[in-house]
Amino acid sequence: MTSLHNDDPLTFYLREVSKVRPLTKDEEADLLRQFRTQREPEAEFAAKLLIEANLPLVVSIAERHAAPGVDMVNLIERGNESLLFALKTFGESSSDSLSTHAATCIERAVAKAIAESAKN
């Protein structure tokens, strides 16, 4: 058994994110409604749950684009930033799920990070 002290931060993060349970469609809809209509701290708590539920999506996209010379931590950081952006820009009238919108944003951010790392 590996202890926390022997794990590098990325391994620890990936292990913790792998434990996250996806939201059902109804749970996502309820949390989005709370995020849009409630005041702090309820809206902030709803946002936190929506973000946490989509962290595995960020990791999945980052892993799919991982390549030699591309920093995985950077890809995940960029993906996480774009996940926040996706939540803020997700439209009420959208027929897509938040995760579908987020995936598009994350893919763009990861592609941009890879292009930037190729320049350096």
In the prediction, which pLDDT does 2 show? 46
Burial 94-107 (b: 16+ CB within 10 A, else e): eeebbbebbbebbe
State the pLDDT confidence band at 1, using cuts at 50, 70 and 90. very low
What is the C-alpha separation between 59 and 78, in angstroms, rounded? 11
For residues 58 and 106, the answer to whether their CB atoms sit within 8 Å is yes
Q: Tell me if the pTM is above 0.85.
A: yes
Assess whether the previous peptide bond of 9 is cis (omega < 30° from 0). no
Q: Angle at which helices 72-89 and 98-119 pack, to 10 degrees?
A: 140
The domains found in the chain, sorted by start residue, are 4-119 (1.20.120.1810)
pLDDT in tens, 94-112: 768 899 999 999 999 999 9
What is the C-alpha separation between 102 and 7, in angstroms, rounded? 29
What is the C-alpha separation between 15 and 45, in angstroms, rounded? 23
Q: Angle at which helices 25-37 and 98-119 pack, to 10 degrees?
A: 80
pLDDT in tens, 23-64: 999 999 999 999 999 999 999 999 999 999 999 999 999 999
In the prediction, which pLDDT does 6 show? 62
